[in-house]
Amino acid sequence: MEQANRTTNAARQPTANRYPIAVIGFVCLYAICVSFFYSSWLIGRPDFSPATFDNVLNPSILAASLLLSLLVSSRLPLRRTVYLTIGYGGFAFALGSAFFAATTDLNPTVIAASAAAAGLGMGLVMPFYFEAFSRYSPRRVAAAFGIMSLGGMAINMLLGFAPAAASLALHAALLAASAVCLAFAYHAEQPRRDGDKTSRRAPSSHAILTKNDFLDVFLVSGVCTFALSIVYGIIDTAAAGTGSSPAESILISQFGGIAAAVIFLAYFGLRAKPATSLLFNVVFGVLATGILFLPFLSSDYAVSLNILAAAGWKLVLLSLFYLVVVTYARSRTKLIVGISLAYALPRFGLFVGQNVAQLLGVGSTTDFVRTTAVAFFLLYLILMVIWMVNSHERKRAESQARAADELLGRFEQEQENVRKLRCGDLAAEHGLTNREGDILYLLAQGRDLTFICETLFLSKNTVKSYQKTIYSKLGVHSKQEIIDLVSSDNSSHNA
């Protein structure tokens, strides 16, 4: 017994420590991602183009995520370690090449290679960090995502004050720490799987996800996030033209991200059952109001709108991540595919919005941003109509199913009462004993010999003897004739 207790405690200890260590590693990894999102090392160079860097980074994230989704869904015999090794290798190459470009000359090939490698790392590593939290409760999942966003953004802002060489060393340390934490999180899972199989979530009827599960997540929330990413890309490009420098626009976006993380933590931490659909509607409504009315309230419209758009966009992103992980928690393949799409498509939407804005020549004027309100509202209304129709149809179908079940239940109960009453009449009419009446009722239900024996605690020979007596008294020769006799009498009785 003592040995068993020591074994149990040894298995529980890494499990208890896994969550905070996984959160720390997630924060470290996201801090590195933010450095590439905002081109932290290169943004100060006057001849550096953030748009060019983003035009390589965001499609690379999409390509790597789609590749991971295809490989995982195809069930190729590739271990998680293979993906993580390639992904962390991409991060290491991206850090080295970005540092080289920042400290020497801005070679376009080196910069493009850095962006592509960073996108490869994000697409292959981030989904597995999301997966690491799928075994926890929804509230702990939300806490991990909020802390990840808040901590990663804050660390990145602090790293901006470090010299280039020190910044490279710190980024390398963060990358190594994230890899170690992720390895520990998955390694700590192994003892529980081998030693305590009951501690993992038990399989349920929802272990295999249906097409409706996918639509519930991506029909509204996923499409809304992608559409909002396009709008945010346009607004961010317009706001960048009004700022004194790209660094100022990045700082504004970072403050918006911090505000979104705080709101996300407060909303999901204070509510027992947070509604992600409500959060999506609030974000869209507030942003739509800002697009319409902020031009008339402040001369710094573009800056104010960019803060609002950045906070709303990142709040919706966190909500989408939470929704995907909680929905697909019981299916590893579906979770990896879903979170890869949820992570990559918004970045691709941002890429589309930024390039649309550049193609149309959006500059410092806010008139173009105002015109996007019309398209934004039309898109918002279409999406809300889809959501309401989908929700209404589901509720109506559920209501009809419940009503049908209740009606069928009442009908079956009424039929059973009539059958029981008719059996009682037949027993009294033909002089059946109480035991023979009980057996008659079970025969009229179509029950077999074994069921009757187990129900009445009688032997088979005894039941067969009673059955012959019942057949003789009623003038029938089989159980089917008894069923037909009671059924015909039921019909005439109901008529």
pLDDT for position 396? 61
Give a yes or no: residue 204 inside a domain. no
Whether residue 327 sits in one domain with residue 242: yes
Question: Predicted confidence band at 205 (pLDDT cuts at 50, 70, 90)?
Answer: very low
Mean predicted confidence (pLDDT) in 8-23: 62
pLDDT for position 215? 57
Mean predicted confidence (pLDDT) in 261-280: 74
Contact call for residues 246 and 44 (beta carbons, < 8 A) = no
Question: Predicted confidence band at 319 (pLDDT cuts at 50, 70, 90)?
Answer: confident
Contact call for residues 211 and 51 (beta carbons, < 8 A) = no
Whether residue 218 sits in one domain with residue 128: no
Degrees (nearest 5) of the Cα angle 158, 17, 181? 50
Angle between helices 2-37 and 164-195 (to 10 degrees): 150
Distance CA 384, CA 378 (A): 10
Nearest-CA neighbor of 67 among 348, 340, 349?
340
pLDDT for position 56? 92
Among 192, 227, 256, the domain boundary falls at 192
The answer to whether residue 317 scores a pLDDT higher than 70 is yes
Question: Predicted confidence band at 108 (pLDDT cuts at 50, 70, 90)?
Answer: confident
Whether residue 294 sits in one domain with residue 223: yes
Mean predicted confidence (pLDDT) in 391-411: 67
Contact call for residues 120 and 93 (beta carbons, < 8 A) = no
Angle between helices 434-444 and 449-456 (to 10 degrees): 140
Q: Which is more confident, 250 or 384?
A: 250
Mean predicted confidence (pLDDT) in 167-185: 91
User: Which CATH number is 485's domain given?
Assistant: 1.10.10.10
pTM: 0.67
pLDDT for position 245? 59
At residue 244, the 3 state secondary structure works out as coil
Predicted confidence (pLDDT) per residue in 348-381, tens digit: 988 888 887 777 665 544 545 544 554 555 555 5
Mean pLDDT of the chain: 76
Give a yes or no: residue 417 inside a domain. no
pLDDT for position 190? 47
Degrees (nearest 5) of the Cα angle 205, 209, 211? 130
pLDDT for position 364? 47
pLDDT for position 1? 41
**Cβ count within 10 A of residue 91:** 26
Q: Which is more confident, 150 or 270?
A: 150
Whether residue 216 sits in one domain with residue 177: no
% of the chain surpassing 70 pLDDT: 69
pLDDT for position 281? 66
Whether residue 489 sits in one domain with residue 354: no
Distance CA 132, CA 136 (A): 9
pLDDT for position 202? 37
Among 356, 386, 404, the domain boundary falls at 404
Whether residue 232 sits in one domain with residue 138: no
Q: Which is more confident, 107 or 216?
A: 107
**Cβ count within 10 A of residue 431:** 8
pLDDT for position 13? 42
Stretch among 242-251, 278-287, 302-311, 479-488 having the lowest mean pLDDT: 242-251
Q: What are phi and psi of 433, to 5 degrees?
A: -75, 175
Distance CA 66, CA 422 (A): 66
Burial group, residue 189, by CB count within 10 angstroms (0-12, 13-18, 19+)? middle
Distance CA 76, CA 422 (A): 64
Give a yes or no: residue 198 inside a domain. no
Give a yes or no: residue 3 inside a domain. no
Stretch among 6-10, 64-68, 100-104, 322-326 having the lowest mean pLDDT: 6-10
Quote the number of domains for the chain: 3
Whether residue 217 sits in one domain with residue 137: no
Whether residue 258 sits in one domain with residue 151: no
**Cβ neighbours of residue 310 closer than 8 Å, sequence gap 6 or more:** 232, 236, 252, 253, 255, 256, 257, 260
Question: Predicted confidence band at 25 (pLDDT cuts at 50, 70, 90)?
Answer: very high
Whether residue 256 sits in one domain with residue 109: no
* Residue 317 belongs to domain spanning: 211-404
Degrees (nearest 5) of the Cα angle 164, 169, 173? 145
Whether residue 264 sits in one domain with residue 352: yes
